[in-house]
Structures are given as structure tokens and as C-alpha cells.
């Protein structure tokens, strides 16, 4: 990057969209645990709107549930957390730094609508509080504008464990 002020240093500056390569630069997750396919809107230090394309090919549908495939709620919350991870990493300018975003707490998780194969799951996450290495977020997952799940969660940004 040039010596000009990075976008992450300008509050409220926007970056969008981010393709899968950019998502993978922000997150260490890979198939089958990468649950963010693209970012449609990112307002640094504020919010993110990302997409998870839910396909029948995903392994969890084989057992959850045969005859009525539904995305597990815990994976919906994980998708929200990954979107929050992209928001945090991009806002703090940490892409490709090796820093990890660790889940610390999940609060007020509520599930409103089953998420089935063929859906585009919209993940919307906002910063609630941002401190040095600990951030709080509020997230909502929806399908076709209908609320599927929501949660508040806390994460910590840290170095990966030493080998």
C-alpha cells in the first residue's frame, strides 16, 4: 500500500465488494469451514453485509436432517462471526497479518426461520464496541429479507498459538 493514509484510518470509509480471495486474506478459514462467500458492503469501523450461498453439497446437510435439510443454527452464528472477523480485520488493517479473531462469547442468540439449501443467507454485522483487542458485535442473518437468526457476540484479536 502507498504511504497515503490507509482507508482503515478514515472512519466510515467504505470498501465493497470483497470477493472470495479478499475474504480468504482476512480469515484463516477454508473449506468446509469458510462460511462467507463474498462481502457486498463494508463500512470500516462500523458494519458489514456479506453473503453465504447455502448449497445442498455442504456436508452438514447429510445428517441435519435427512429428508428436511436445515443449516444448523450454530453454523449460522459461525457465519455471522466470520463476517464480523472480516469487518474487524479490514477495519484494523490486519489482512494477511496472521492475526486471528477468536470467539469469546455469544449472547442472546435467537433463531427465527429455518435456512435451507438454495438460500442466499445475508449476514449483517455491526460493531457495538471496539477496544484494543476485544470487540463486541451485533449480527443478523436473513433470507429474502426475513430474519433467520440474530446474536450478540464478543471476539478477541490475537496472534495464533505458537506451534
Residue 21 lies in a domain: yes
Number of domains observed in the structure of the chain: 1
Specify the CATH number for the domain of residue 92: 3.10.129.10
Percent of the chain whose pLDDT exceeds 90: 75
26-81 pLDDT, tens digit each = 999 999 999 999 999 999 999 999 999 999 999 999 899 989 999 999 999 999 99
State the residue range of the domain holding 17. 7-158
Residue 148 lies in a domain: yes
Residue 77 lies in a domain: yes
In angstroms, what CA-CA distances link 155 with 48, 66, 113, 132, 142? 16, 33, 25, 11, 22
Report the sign of the C-alpha dihedral through residues 135, 152, 159, 89, in that order: negative
Q: What is the DSSP annotation of the chain?
A: --SSPPGGGSTT-EE--B-HHHHHHH----TTS----EEEEEETTTEEEEEEE--TTSGGGGTS-TTS----HHHHHHHHHHHHHHHHHHHTT-TTS--EEEEEEEEEEEE-S---TT-EEEEEEEEEEE-SSEEEEEEEEEETTEEEEEEEEEEEEEPPPP-
For the CA atoms of 146, 152, 158, 159, the dihedral, rounded to the nearest 10 degrees, stands at -40
Residue 2 lies in a domain: no
124-144 pLDDT, tens digit each = 999 999 988 999 999 999 999
Residue 145 lies in a domain: yes
Catalytic site positions: 64
Residue 163 lies in a domain: no
pTM above the 0.75 mark?
Answer: yes
Antiparallel, parallel or unpaired: β 146-158 and 100-111: antiparallel
Amino acid at each position: 500500500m502507498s504511504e497515503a493514509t490507509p482507508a482503515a484510518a478514515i472512519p466510515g470509509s467504505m470498501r465493497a465488494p470483497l470477493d472470495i480471495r479478499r475474504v480468504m486474506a482476512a480469515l484463516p478459514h477454508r473449506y468446509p469451514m469458510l462460511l462467507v462467500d463474498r462481502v457486498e458492503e463494508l463500512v470500516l469501523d462500523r458494519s458489514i453485509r456479506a453473503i453465504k450461498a447455502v448449497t445442498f453439497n455442504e456436508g452438514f446437510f447429510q445428517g441435519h436432517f435427512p429428508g428436511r435439510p436445515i443449516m444448523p443454527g450454530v453454523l449460522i452464528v459461525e457465519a455471522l462471526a466470520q463476517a464480523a472477523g472480516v469487518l474487524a480485520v479490514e477495519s484494523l488493517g490486519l489482512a494477511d497479518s496472521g492475526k486471528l479473531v477468536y470467539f469469546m462469547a455469544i449472547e442472546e442468540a435467537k433463531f427465527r426461520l429455518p435456512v435451507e439449501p438454495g438460500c442466499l443467507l445475508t449476514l449483517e454485522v455491526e460493531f457495538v464496541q471496539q477496544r484494543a483487542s476485544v470487540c463486541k458485535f451485533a449480527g443478523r442473518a436473513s433470507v429474502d429479507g426475513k430474519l433467520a437468526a440474530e446474536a450478540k457476540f464478543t471476539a478477541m484479536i490475537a496472534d495464533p498459538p505458537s506451534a
